[in-house]
Structure 1
Amino acid sequence: MDRYPSEEVRKCEEFIDCKMKPSLVRATVERSDLRKNIENLQKNSITNLRTMVNIGSEVYMQAEVSDTQRIFVDIGYGFHVEFTWDEALNYIPLREEQIEECTCRIVRIKADIKRIHEGIRQLLQIPQEPYVEERVF
């Protein structure tokens, strides 16, 4: 019976580390600020740039964009659409609905992680720490 809580704790922690945290990272990354980036390109009349591109598994590579007048926008499910700046700006209101959904998903994932941590605390019979309000500066 002694092994049961530690095995359950290990499974919960593994679930958090392998499933929930990567989901949280993906959902957070999806919340990019497309409008701000496009407006910066327009405001500064940037026609070419050097940037870092995620080529998968959080591995980045330096890339040079020779013409920024047309951009590829991630529309979800791994699909990208080529837009002009104005077309992309018109698409953004639709994208903001998706971003709001991502925000809700992030909140749910964080709440689930907190609940699992609370369950682990209860399994291990660790007393709950008193709530201390954090100061924001």
Structure 2
Amino acid sequence: MEVDLQQKITRYEKFVNEGLRKDLKEALDSRDAVYDQISDYLKLAKDIEVIKSNGLTEMKTQVDLGSNFYVQAKIPDTKHIFVNVGFGFHAELTLDEALTFITKKEAFLQKKADMYTKKAAQIRAHIKMVLQAMAEIMKLSKEPLPRNLDLL
């Protein structure tokens, strides 16, 4: 009977470590990626506000070509910008259209992040429940069997 309980505890440990903890990490990583997207859109909205408030019609900036390799770029007309709308597509928008899009996109991404947060909380609750069940099994296995169960 003791060997059977040890096997059950081992299976539960494997389930927690290889299943639930992996799922929790994936949910938290996905949520963090969504938060990174939100941060990028909010940064863009701030930049648009600076362009609008200062009345900039042209500007110089640095563009990341990848791997933190930046080049200097000149923007001759700031009336329109290209905004990443998802799935690798970019749309040319006016500054006001871009701000409207960013507001909607940020709200959408926040709902997505909230979903991942909720999923992570559920996984944490499952982990806690399994660990409590394991503790109960271990606690019960250390106690002698009641007299009425000895007959079984």
TM-score (norm 2): 0.64
> Does the 8 A contact of 1:35 with 1:89 survive in 2?
no
Residue 91 of structure 2: aligned partner: 81
Deviations 1:30-89 (A, max 9, x none): 2222332111134343601125x484xxx5433433216253211112211234xxx132
Paired residue total: 119
- Larger CA Rg, structure 1 vs 2: 2
Q: Matches of 1:54 and 1:22 in 2, distance apart?
A: 25
Q: Matches of 2:92 and 2:115 in 1, distance apart?
A: 32
| RMSD of equivalent CA atoms | 2.6
Q: 1:9 aligns with which of 11, 16, 27?
A: 16
Q: Matches of 2:65 and 2:117 in 1, distance apart?
A: 24
Structure with larger RCO (C-alpha < 8 A, sep 6+): 2
Q: Matches of 2:92 and 2:101 in 1, distance apart?
A: 16
Identity %: 16
> Does the 8 A contact of 1:54 with 1:60 survive in 2?
yes
Inter-CA distance 82–35: structure 2 relative to 1 (3 Å threshold)? same
SS of the aligned residue for 2:59 comes to coil
1:112 Cα deviation (Å)?
Answer: 0.9
What stretches of structure 1 move > 6 A for 4+ residues in a row? Answer: none
Tell me which protein shows more helix as a share of its residues: 2
User: Within 5 A, what are the aligned runs for 1:32-111?
Assistant: 32-33=41-42, 34-44=44-54, 45=56, 47-50=59-62, 53=64, 55=66, 59-67=67-75, 69=78, 70-83=80-93, 87-111=94-118
Structure 2: unaligned runs, 5 residues or longer: 1-7, 136-152
Q: State which drifts further: 59-68 or 25-34.
A: 59-68
1:101 partner amino acid: F
Inter-CA distance 54–116: structure 2 relative to 1 (3 Å threshold)? farther
Structure 1: unaligned runs, 5 residues or longer: 128-137
TM-score (norm 1): 0.70
